[in-house]
Structure 1
């Protein structure tokens, strides 16, 4: 975009980009030279005929049609940080029997409660390459959430996708491959929502590092910035990589999406109309609601028209008692700044998501816990210290989920190397070495939000965690197995007891198992200088030195790694004394039992690495931004690598890797043969979507008398810091506390922001089909291959289907399908994978649609991204 034209656009959309009213043209031109997010207005309204949403829409319309203006605002605005029991709640609608809706972490369990399960991380379940386990994990988490009274579970995660391996929250998601992540998202969402809880796909979008995600947090670490990081992503990369798994989430019927802290192309994620209005709601046809991340909202009316539907936790800054919405949203609708249909659509989306997973408003489980304390009694309004009563009922929601957790932990363990020492068969002498094998001396929950690296690492840190009901350590499980076998067993649970370790592992007949780890998490916690993101890709607490020392003293050394992604193995992985290496991810509460099952062959390993193990950090290409690079303004993180991250980059650079994406060994062997291509008799020609939506629906009139909206002090007392929809005065300027109050929408909102007329469908959209044009999901080819178990024991194999799109700017190969198949010794199974039109298409920024290029396409089937046994050209 030319600089002058860009500056004009910036003037038009200054509010969306959170620019102050007095910015001059020189400052605007400086911003225009940076990446830019073009506006998209108006915010699309719900489609009553959208696939999978018609019944929920009808119920929502019946409900919302009865609401007053104040009740609609109450439904969209959080009540404030610590104002109620959950990490986030909106106001109740008691007149119609709807209690306050509870939004609560996390993507691997229920945060800050008791008698709940601590599940494996998303990355660990991705390593199973097992759709069924992904679904069952989601269903179990959804059941536990529902049993606690949680209405919206804040997960699963596709942002971060995993652009850079040191990203702090990569473990919360699934994989840097968009297809594997997309499958993980879809199956998890279906599981959570089938269990009766609304899922929340987050963080939308480009949220790929913790550094500079929030201004206050960054300033607390000594970084002098005034705006958050901008992830600068081009249109093609956005569609072919980062948006891909969110498409699968929308197709799976996800009820909510959380917008992210950082900016995208210099517009904040939670007021970026291109992202929320253009991509998510118009192009993908998302019918649920968009909620802000906690304190990620920066404007009131501007964020509303840009597509935000719910603000969390409601206050502008934690415990400020102020809100961009609440009373300000009430005023904005009354004075016409925010059109009434936009508020109606916010309420409709929230209630449609509710009715998609619930039958009636008065049949919800009560909220039976408090995030703020485990005490049985305390103030229900925690921040205000008000209304002392029972707030925790200590409801046990775990059921038999420990068995599932143990199964996922074992099946997600990746056997990276094995020269014959595994599986263990009643070894004579087992020596377990390393802090990562043992307990945290402070207890498994001894560090708030798991914000330390003491003892074994079974999950990362931050809001994406859950409290452990117990934690089976590797030391405990392996010792129990050794006792059962009659083996000698000793453990040294320190990385620094060199002389004692040498004396132990140098003895005859010893099998030494070394446990090492790396850790990471969310940016509000700093662990040893790791501000959420990892500082490096090495093992923590001198883990590399521990491995090298033990393997120099013992010729049968087995290494087990718990980590949030790849670590550098270059200095020791090929040491002949290291007979096996396993990656066990973050396996949750059954950690020790899971790894013992694999080491002893109770589970034949079939986990596959959901990322690439490179030889150097530089080998990954993309990396994090650790220092501000734009003065005090928003740090600029340019995604110049495009779609080439992880294995795509290694293939493009033609560099060797230690262990490739999709790699994993077994205790048996498999042989691939007989690849075939099946093509449907008739495949329809792709037709771009045409036509227009209906006009924005209306839901009746409302009073414009400000006296009808003043706080009803005679009905109930005011709670300190609680966010209400009521005005505190009939003077609108005083009520808003906004020095610019009185400006009309036309004066400060972008063109068409309040337009209620019928709008054209984007040509790539699906009209009534969430996820885009339904023809994108036509199966164009079915690929089959035979897989024979040529070994002596039964095992699972994970055949992977890749495709080459053939263009000069395309990755060498891209994952498109996979399966996990159990095959008995000597038996042959048939793998069947499909290639849809989307799988074979590229995003064309010029026509704004998916197109199949004329380049030769080739399909591959194999056991990893660099072990592709079979190939076939596609017509």
Structure 2
């Protein structure tokens, strides 16, 4: 049982970084006490069950519930302690947002960014449900996803593919529907990473030091109040409104306070203003303090040890002591346990859950239960096949998320072409196997999944080369492929063959910051295609007048050198499609699926046109690198509109094999009531009892079970509290180092902008309903994605904001009605003085069209 000095943990900073810093740097205001959950709304039944359960727990059991057992402590990437006395097995936390990391016989789904391109609420939900069902069948209780941070502030961001879109409205709808699907499947969703986690560089000190950067504190994302509310917090409000059970706080600092102990972010914005009822979990090693992190809003420490495999913990023994000596009040540990168990019961989990049937640390059937120390060798993998028919869904999402960016003279769809030539390593297999690179940390073969903890193991991978060849054989077409980007003579011979239709596959990869691929430390170094992809396209299109380009990428790439070549007849963005990659793209190329997807980000002409970028070099000496979000809310298409920069392909753009007409715009007022600020006070913080102050009750129970080194326990090893803490200054007055009101448990005033899940309930009132008629005027049945944009009219507002969309299936010659509800929040701005939402007096104009720069219909919101 190792424990760190409580004082050291405290001094790690509960409000701002303890490191000496320039006073001109951004700061984060303290907000205390941490709000206690109330069980409001749809949480009431789960809250009642949790209250009954937590009331039975001892302090040791409550601490066990909140503290991870340590890296490689048990089978999942994260587990808390169990409560055998009540038949409660450990919670199992497992990546990832595209599939079950480190397992077998499970699926690899399309990325969040890819599914966002479908603009299809039903597919958002279906994907979430299928992933949730697979996780549950493996014994997982908390799926570490979906992702709204990063949103994609900078297109080079390494983990943008895990999220959905740099547009907060699209991301908000996607994350909400994914959460509903995941939790309807019977496990807890964990929305991440909260908040401002927009790049991989400098997110962790140790990681940055390993790459040769001499810094002592993690990067600070410096975000103003308006930008926080109108952009980065927006999708998390949707997540809370959807009933998400858990939210993961991020590695970075926000305004120079670590996100996992930032009382402004966790206490004020998340738990108070947004009314979050679930629990806040730290990212792995993102906790930097003991008692202060609890008081600032953290509820669960992952993986439990301060650094992997050390056995040291900010919580565990230290949290037990902090409660015993009053540094952490009893009501706070009760609230932490209540939040965890309320989320548990809310999704239908019971005390009779089946055991975990896989192991994150070995693919073998037998291995040590405690991999970190190699103890308790037993069966740890049962190789349970949980895939069901999800391959069909993955194939559908892969096809329906493919964006047709260019299609000259109806080059597509293909119809039994005489001769198909496929080019590029991205069409083929990884010669090491689809799982040959740990956590997919390489870019060999076709890019169907990017790298990092957001990855999973392929059960199989259908490559474009294999799928297209099968189609060509069925059509009696001639088929050849060259899968080496640098085989110049072979490429020239094939590309210059008569009557050939050339399909060129190229990619651009990225991932999490602990892996560097070809010098890209998570974040992309540039926006060009990898493996000389641009040169490959130009070379082939110079010889073949019917060159089709397919891009697999984790975001936009620069296409200006070749996209407008008359010999490049079609361009498709196929994103990160998952295990059915080849089948999905074949379905689109041959017209089995008529494309309707829309690009979920903007394709700029230059890197500079985005106005944002990654901070690649430290800029604050050895202190925390400072990333100032000076662009405010103007990222992606908002920034392009502000600078009057013309993109290559605008946000929301995408073509079809048929055509559509927009007409008959109708805007109806819903006659909603007025917006009123929330008033009143909370109840007292509930205290559930079952609390002993006798330190002898907290000693390690020698003889009851074996002590395992590096495992995190809640027990003391002596009744001398100072000795148990290992802290020379143990016993000093908590008021000397805790912020004012940090331990207050009496009624607190309600925030004006709060009052319900996702914020003030009136924000979710429907103010208007917008309808339009969409007619398929072409020869083929197809789908269309009409989009609603609104101008808020103010001088500091973006030109337009996405505020509605719908994917409609319309047969040739038929019409359908597009419908979008405009909520109060959709036309509101954040008032930094009043700390509340308001609707400005500027005129509000609604626009409907097929993209963010093509508006066919418009009308005023009266």
What TM-score do you get using the length of structure 2 for normalisation? 0.98
- Give the CA RMSD over aligned residues: 1.0
Say if 2:833 is the partner of 1:843. no
In the TM superposition, residue 13 of structure 1 has moved relative to its aligned partner by: 9.4
Say if 2:22 is the partner of 1:43. no
Say if 2:713 is the partner of 1:737. no
Within-5 A mapping of 1:617-766: 617-680=607-670, 682-766=671-755
Query: Where does residue 207 of structure 1 map in the other structure?
Result: 197
Query: Where does residue 595 of structure 2 map in the other structure?
Result: 605
Q: Is the 8 A contact 1:15 1:749 kept in 2?
A: no
Count of equivalent residues = 852
Q: CA separation in 2, counterparts of 1:625 and 1:518?
A: 20
Q: Is the 8 A contact 2:367 2:379 kept in 1?
A: yes
Query: Where does residue 543 of structure 1 map in the other structure?
Result: 533
Q: Is the 8 A contact 1:155 1:202 kept in 2?
A: yes
Q: CA separation in 2, counterparts of 1:678 and 1:482?
A: 52
Say if 2:760 is the partner of 1:773. yes
Query: Where does residue 57 of structure 1 map in the other structure?
Result: 47
Alpha-carbon deviations, 1:828-866, whole Å to 9, x = none?
111011111100100111100110000011000000000
Query: Where does residue 824 of structure 1 map in the other structure?
Result: 811
Alpha-carbon deviations, 1:122-144, whole Å to 9, x = none?
00000000000000000000000
Q: CA separation in 2, counterparts of 1:143 and 1:359?
A: 13
Q: Secondary structure at the match of 1:210?
A: coil
Say if 2:491 is the partner of 1:504. no
Say if 2:312 is the partner of 1:305. no
Q: CA separation in 1, counterparts of 2:345 and 2:30?
A: 31
> Taking structure 1 as reference, are residues 359 and 317 closer, same or farther at Cα in structure 2, changes over 3 Å only?
closer
Q: CA separation in 1, counterparts of 2:690 and 2:133?
A: 40
> Taking structure 1 as reference, are residues 717 and 356 closer, same or farther at Cα in structure 2, changes over 3 Å only?
same
In the TM superposition, residue 708 of structure 1 has moved relative to its aligned partner by: 1.0
Query: Where does residue 148 of structure 1 map in the other structure?
Result: 138
Q: CA separation in 2, counterparts of 1:700 and 1:644?
A: 50
Q: 1:517 aligns with which of 507, 511, 524?
A: 507
Q: 1:814 aligns with which of 796, 801, 810?
A: 801
Alpha-carbon deviations, 1:85-115, whole Å to 9, x = none?
0000000011111001100000111001100
Within-5 A mapping of 1:214-293: 214-293=204-283
In the TM superposition, residue 19 of structure 1 has moved relative to its aligned partner by: 4.8
Q: CA separation in 2, counterparts of 1:267 and 1:838?
A: 28
Q: CA separation in 1, counterparts of 2:720 and 2:689?
A: 25
In the TM superposition, residue 384 of structure 1 has moved relative to its aligned partner by: 1.2
Alpha-carbon deviations, 1:443-495, whole Å to 9, x = none?
00000000000000001100001100000000000000000000000000110
Alpha-carbon deviations, 1:791-831, whole Å to 9, x = none?
01100000000000000000000000100000011111110
In the TM superposition, residue 14 of structure 1 has moved relative to its aligned partner by: 7.5
Q: Is the 8 A contact 1:239 1:843 kept in 2?
A: yes
Q: 1:433 aligns with which of 418, 423, 429?
A: 423
Q: CA separation in 1, counterparts of 2:470 and 2:648?
A: 34
Say if 2:786 is the partner of 1:799. yes
> Taking structure 1 as reference, are residues 14 and 388 closer, same or farther at Cα in structure 2, changes over 3 Å only?
closer
In the TM superposition, residue 359 of structure 1 has moved relative to its aligned partner by: 4.6
Q: 1:862 aligns with which of 835, 849, 852?
A: 849
Structure 1 unmatched ranges of 5 or more: 1-11
Structure 2 unmatched ranges of 5 or more: 1-9
Q: Is the 8 A contact 1:148 1:395 kept in 2?
A: yes
Q: Secondary structure at the match of 1:99?
A: coil
In the TM superposition, residue 18 of structure 1 has moved relative to its aligned partner by: 6.0
Q: CA separation in 1, counterparts of 2:179 and 2:336?
A: 21
Within-5 A mapping of 1:351-370: 351-362=341-352, 364-370=353-359
Q: CA separation in 2, counterparts of 1:793 and 1:365?
A: 49
Query: Where does residue 481 of structure 2 map in the other structure?
Result: 491
State which drifts further: 351-360 or 595-604: 351-360
Q: Is the 8 A contact 1:15 1:748 kept in 2?
A: no
Query: Where does residue 6 of structure 2 map in the other structure?
Result: none
Say if 2:196 is the partner of 1:198. no
In the TM superposition, residue 730 of structure 1 has moved relative to its aligned partner by: 1.7
Q: CA separation in 1, counterparts of 2:224 and 2:278?
A: 26
Q: Secondary structure at the match of 2:486?
A: coil
Say if 2:444 is the partner of 1:454. yes
Q: Secondary structure at the match of 1:535?
A: coil
Q: CA separation in 1, counterparts of 2:483 and 2:614?
A: 33
What TM-score do you get using the length of structure 1 for normalisation? 0.97
Q: Is the 8 A contact 1:13 1:749 kept in 2?
A: no
Within-5 A mapping of 1:15-30: 15-17=13-15, 19-20=17-18, 27=20, 30=21
Q: CA separation in 1, counterparts of 2:203 and 2:145?
A: 19
In the TM superposition, residue 739 of structure 1 has moved relative to its aligned partner by: 3.2
In the TM superposition, residue 738 of structure 1 has moved relative to its aligned partner by: 2.4
